[in-house]
A and B are shown apart, each in its own frame.
Chain A
Amino acid sequence: DTEVTQTPKHLVMGMTNKKSLKCEQHMGHRAMYWYKQKAKKPPELMFVYSYEKLSINESVPSRFSPECPNSSLLNLHLHALQPEDSALYLCASSPPFQETQYFGPGTRLLVL
């Protein structure tokens, strides 16, 4: 299995909602990543988990809360988001850190 899967594909939420994005990989990769991508811009790194421990947090607001329950799963919990948080959220994994990353198809988030 060489896929990274993400659910849901699309998400619409209000500013008072709580929702979660999910990411799963079964390639035995030990590093997992969350990125945010706005239209016509490159992906911006948000968080990195290495061996299930949060190793990088790129000064992301606390309304985004990552979680890595096990080596195959990565969640991004969302609470009290702002309209400017609307974007494509991409998950990726790599064997160890700093090697080729494999991306999921993304979750397109719209905050109303």
Chain B
Amino acid sequence: SQQGEEDPQALSIQEGENATMNCSYKTSINNLQWYRQNSGRGLVHLILIRSNEREKHSGRLRVTLDTSKKSSSLLITASRAADTASYFCATYPRGQNFVFGPGTRLSVLP
């Protein structure tokens, strides 16, 4: 399987609920990044967390990184319809090139 795999692949929630997406990876990394993509458009960078960091916040986003488990999670609190998008984690495995995970398609229902 590939470096950087998101779980779940698809997620539907109601507005106001929290959404949690997970990302697992296989090799050591320098940093892990989360991106959002709205229906086949360009990707928007959400947050970067470095290998020596455990948690970062940005507005309604909270990202955690557990290097011992080689996993990260993205939490979106108080979701809105505008959060409907695909979310990708991406890693820079040491000695390798930038790799995106397969993504989680989030649908926030009004």
Contact residues of A with B, CB < 8 Å?
4, 33, 39, 41-45, 48, 56, 58, 88, 90, 92, 98-106, 108
The complex places the Cα of A42 from the Cα of B103 at a distance, in Å, of 7
Known contacts being A43-B100, A45-B98, A56-B97, is A98 close to B41, with CB within 8 Å?
no
Q: Which among A42, A88, A99, A105 is the interface contact of B101 at CB below 8 angstroms?
A: A42
* Chain B: interface residue total (CB-CB under 8 A): 20
The complex places the Cα of A102 from the Cα of B92 at a distance, in Å, of 16
Known contacts being A42-B102, A98-B31, A100-B33, is A90 close to B43, with CB within 8 Å?
yes
| Cβ-based interface call for B48 (8 A) | yes
Q: 1/0 contact trace for B24-61 toward A, CB 8 Å?
A: 00000011010100001111110010000000000000
* Supplied contacts A98-B92, A106-B41, A106-B42, 19 more A-B pairs, CB within 8 Å: A33-B98, A39-B40, A42-B88, A42-B102, A45-B97, A45-B98, A88-B40, A90-B42, A98-B30, A99-B48, A100-B33, A100-B48, A101-B45, A103-B45, A104-B42, A105-B41, A105-B42, A106-B40, A108-B40
Residues of A with C-beta under 8 A to B102: 41-42
Q: Chain B residue with minimal CB distance to A88? A: B40
Contact residues of B with A, CB < 8 Å?
30-31, 33, 35, 40-45, 48, 88, 92, 97-103
The complex places the Cα of A85 from the Cα of B77 at a distance, in Å, of 38
The complex places the Cα of A104 from the Cα of B45 at a distance, in Å, of 11
Residues of B with C-beta under 8 A to A92: 43
Residues of B with C-beta under 8 A to A106: 40-42
